[in-house]
Chain A
Amino acid sequence: MGGGDRGEELCEALRDCRGRGASVRIVGSGSKSFLTAAAASRTPDPPALSTTDHSGVLDYRPEELVITARAGTPLREVERQLAEADQQLPFEPPRFHGGGTLGGAVACGLSGPGRPWRGSVRDAVLGVELCNGLGERLRFGGQVMKNVAGYDVSRLQVGAFGTLGLLLAISVKVLPRPAAQETRTFEVDAGAALELCRRWAARPYPITATCFLGGLLRVRLAGAEPALRAAATALGGDRERNDGFWDELRDQRLSFFAEPGLWRGSLPPAAAAPLDGCLVTWGGGERWWRPPDPAAAAALLAAHGGHGRPFDDSFGLRVGRYVPAVERHYGDRLRRAFDPDGVLNPDLSVGQPTARARRDAD
C-alpha cells in the first residue's frame, strides 16, 4: 500500500503551534498552490506543514464502491488503484501538472467536467478523519453511502481549504468506469450550444459532460455500447476522434487556460450571460472567461443568478469576499468552533475574514 502514518505527528504539530500562539500553512503536493500564491508575498508567512508523508490507501474493496486513503496520498496513486478494478473517482478532480493529493482535492473542492451528472467532490465524500485547530484527532461520517448520524462535518470540509481542520484521511464514493465512451461534436455558436444543452438536459440521454469552446460543442456520452449508438443517433453531430480532450479539459491543459485574467463563474445552466468568449461546461452551469471589465464581472454574474471569482493566485485566498455578509458572520463563528486560536491557514478566508485580519483587529 505504501506511504506512512504521520497522523499523530501532524496533530502534535498543531497542538505545539497552538501552545506557542503560532499557526501553520497546510500544504499537500503543492499542485494547487498557484490558487493561494498571493499570500506568499505577505510576511511573516506561517511555516508550511506538509501532509505528503501521511499517505497510503487504507481500505479499498471495489464491491463497496468506496476508497479510504490518507490525505497525502497522490491522486495518481488513488486513480491507479481504482483503474485496476475498472473504477474511477466520479468527481474527476483536476491534476494540475500531473500532481495533487486526495486531501488537496477535497480541501479545494474543484469538481471536473462531469459534475452535473456524476456529482461533485462533496457529493462523493462519505467520511473524514481530521485534526481540528485544538489538535484533536476526530472522525466524522464513515465508509457507507447512507449515514445521518450527527452533523455532516465530512462534506463541510470540501472547499474549506483546510481552515476547519487538517484532513488526515478521507473516504470517498467511487463509480464503475463506463463500458464505453464516445464524444459527439457540433459546430454551433454559443447561443445555439446553450440551447442544445438545455434541450438535452430535459431528456434522459447518457450524457456525462459537455464543453463549448470556440464554435465547437462537445458532448461526452458513456454507457453500454448499444445505448451509446442510440444516443449518438438521437443527438446527431460528428464523432470526435481525440479521446484525450476531456482529460485536457479536466487538468486545464487546453491552451485556453494558459493566458492570465481568467475567471470562473458558476451559473444557472440556462443563464444568458456571460457567454461571449466563454468556455462553457456543466451543460451551461460553469463558465470560464476573461472579462473585459473585471470590476463589473461579479455584478454581471450576480445579475444572472450566479457567482464567480478570478481563477488566479487569490482564488482560494479571499473567498470570503464573495460571500454575503450574513453568511460570513456564521462562517466566522463556524471557523472559531473548529479552530478558536487561528492555527490553521490563517491567511485564507473561506467564509469569513482571515484569522490574521481577526488577530490584527483584536
Chain B
Amino acid sequence: MTSESEARRARVESLLRDALPAASVIVDARARKAFESDGLTAIRELPWIVALPETEAQVLEVLRICREFEVPVVPRGAGTGLSGGARPLAHGLLLGLSKLSAILEVDVANGVARVQPGVRNLAISEAAADHGLYYAPDPSSQIACSIGGNVAENSGGVHCLKYGLTVHNVLGVRLITFEGDVLNLGGKTFDSPGYDLLALTMGSEGMLGVVTEVTVRLLPAPPEKRVLLAAFPEVAAAADAVGAIIAAGLIPAGLEMMDAPAIRAAEDFVHAGYPTDAEAILLCELDGVAEEVEADLARVRRVLQAHGAGEVRVAVSAADQARLWLGRKSAFPAVGRISPDYYCMDGTIPRAHLADVLARIGRLAEDHGLAVANVFHAGDGNLHPLILYDANVPGELERAESLGARILELCVAVGGTVTGEHGVGIEKLDQMCAQFDDAALAQMHRLKAAFDPAGLMNPGKAVPTLSRCAEVGGMHVHGGRLPFPNLPRF
C-alpha cells in the first residue's frame, strides 16, 4: 500500500474514531481478516477498513466520512450470504450492521415487529412466539442470518411456496442513501403512496442504500403441521408429481426434492430413515388448521400414488417430522462428507421443465466428468444442484465452474433465472449477461444512479457492466462471429 493511501486511511480512521466507539473501528489486519468474505468463502478480499456502528446516527456519520473521502462502502449483515454480495473491497469501507441488533417493538395489535437490521431472522419469531405469532420466511441459515441481509437478498426459505419471500413479509424499512438521506419506506400499513421503493429495496443487495430498520409482518403460527415422504423409482416421476400436486389446487407449506446421491449422503450422515433404494424422494409439509391439513393430506397422498410413488410415509409425531426434515436440512453438509468440495448452484425454472432439466443436468455433468447431487425447493422450481469436485485435482475447479455456468444458462434457456434466492453478488455477474440484454442492464445502472449518483454503494455487485458482458459473450463464440464486434477488448 502506498504511503499516500496509508495517510488517507489514517485520516479516515481518525474521523471514524471521533464518531464511533473504539471497538467499532477496525484497522488491524488480523482483525480485518474476519471480514474478508461472506458465506461464499472462495472469493476473498481484505477490507481497507471496517466500521461497526451501534446506532443509525453513527451509520450516518460513517457515510458522511465516506462521502467526504469518496470511499466506497460495502454493507454486511451476518455474513452468511452465498453469492459474495458482502465481499469487501481492498479500497473500501466494510460497514457491518451486526451491532444494530435491537428488537424495537413487537406490536401484537397490528401484527408487526419493528427491528434493527442486525437482528437474526429466527430471533424475530422467538420474540413473537409468546403471542402465537411468527415471522414466516425461514432461509436455511435462519439461526445466523440477519433480517437486514434478508432484505438485501430478498431471502426465501423452505416455506416460501405458501408464505412468500422477504418482499411479501416486510411492510417497511428505513433506508439511508449514500448521500445521507433517510427514506422511510412503508410502515405498519399494507401500502404507501408513490413509487414502491420498498419493493425495489428488497433484493437490491445493498446497492441502493443501507437499511437501518425493518418492519416485518407477523403471522399466526399454524396449529397443525404434517410432513410426508414419498419415494419414487424414477426422478422424472417425482418431478411430474410436483406439478400434479400444484395442478390439483394444493399449496403445500414446503415441497422439497432430493435425488439418489443426495438421499444416500443424507442417510449415511444423519440416519433420517430415508429409503436409500429410491431414485428420488419428495418431502411435503402441509400446515394450517387441523381440518384443512387432514383434507389436503388425503389429496396429496392420492396425487403422489397416482404418479408412481412407491412408499408414502406420513410422520406421526413431532419427533418423526423433525427426523424427516433433518435429512433434508443436513443434505449440504452430508454431501460435503462424500466430496472434498462442492459448488452449490441456485437457478429457478418453471416447474413443468423439472424432469427435463434434471436429466439434462445429468448429461452435462457426464460431459464434464463430474457428479451432481440435487436437493432443492421443488415446489417453486428452485434448483440447488451441488457439483462435486476436488479442488486439489488440477482442472476440477475449472470444470466445476464451467458446468455450473452451463447449468445456469440452461435455467435461463427454459424461461428461468440464474438465481432464485442466493443473489447475484459477485458470483453470478457473468450469468446475468445471459439473462438480460444490454438495454435492460443499462436501465438497471441508471436506476442505481438515481439512488447513488456517486456509484459508491457496494459498487461492482449484482449488475454487470456492459463491457464485462461483452467479454463474457466473447467466451462463447457463436457461428465463428464475436458478439459486439465494435467494442475494444483487452
Contact = CB atoms under 8 A, between A and B. Distances in A.
To the question of whether A and B form a pair in one complex, the answer is yes
Interface of A: 61-66, 86-87, 109, 111, 115-116, 119-120, 122-123, 132, 136-140, 142-153, 155-156, 158-160, 164, 175-177, 179, 198, 201-206, 223-227, 229-231, 266-270, 282, 285-286, 305-307, 309, 319-320, 322-324, 326-331, 333-334, 336-338, 350-351
Contact of A227 (B108, B194, B289): B289
B249 A86 contact: yes
B161 A159 contact: no
Given A111-B190, A337-B446, 5 more contacts: A147-B419, A203-B220, A270-B110, A333-B450, A338-B443
B196 A159 contact: yes
Interface stretch (B24-32, B197-205, B311-319): B197-205
A63 B246 CA distance: 5
B419 A148 contact: yes
Q: Count chain A CB atoms within 10 A of each CB in B110, B164, B250 and give the residue with the most.
A: B110
A63 B183 contact: no
A268 B188 CA distance: 5
Contacts of A204: 220-223, 288-289
Contact of A146 (B132, B207, B249, B420): B420
B185 A327 contact: yes
A290 B435 CA distance: 49
A204 B224 CA distance: 10
B360 interface: no
B160 interface: yes
A164 B39 CA distance: 36
B147 interface: no
Interface string B457-468: 000001100000
Contact of A309 (B108, B193, B352, B448): B193
Interface stretch (B52-60, B256-264, B410-418): B410-418
Contacts, number: 273
Nearest to A328: B194
Q: Count chain B CB atoms within 10 A of each CB in A111, A231, A322, A327 and give the residue with the most.
A: A327
A174 B389 CA distance: 40
A64 B350 CA distance: 7
Given A156-B195, A164-B195, A201-B220, A142 B190 contact: no
A86 B249 CA distance: 8
23 contacts: A62-B247, A64-B243, A132-B443, A139-B436, A139-B437, A144-B415, A145-B160, A149-B417, A149-B436, A150-B440, A150-B441, A151-B207, A156-B195, A159-B194, A202-B220, A227-B291, A268-B110, A305-B187, A323-B193, A330-B451, A337-B450, A338-B446, A350-B195
Contacts of A86: 249
A89 B87 CA distance: 40
A203 B447 contact: no
Contacts of A152: 154, 167, 199-200, 202-204
A156 B196 contact: yes
Q: Count chain A CB atoms within 10 A of each CB in B177, B207, B350 and give the residue with the most.
A: B350
A160 B195 contact: yes
Contacts of B185: 327
A177 to B, nearest CB: 7
A211 B207 CA distance: 40
Given A152-B203, A159-B196, A202-B220, A337 B190 contact: no
Contacts of B195: 156, 159-160, 164, 331, 334, 350-351
B440 A144 contact: no
A206 B196 CA distance: 29
Q: Count chain B CB atoms within 10 A of each CB in A66, A159, A282 and give the residue with the most.
A: A159
A138 B189 contact: no
Given A144-B417, A268-B110, A111 B447 contact: no
A336 B350 CA distance: 34
A146 B421 contact: yes
Contact of B439 (A123, A136, A224): A136
Given A144-B417, A159-B196, A270-B109, A176 B250 contact: yes
B420 A143 contact: no
A144 B415 CA distance: 8
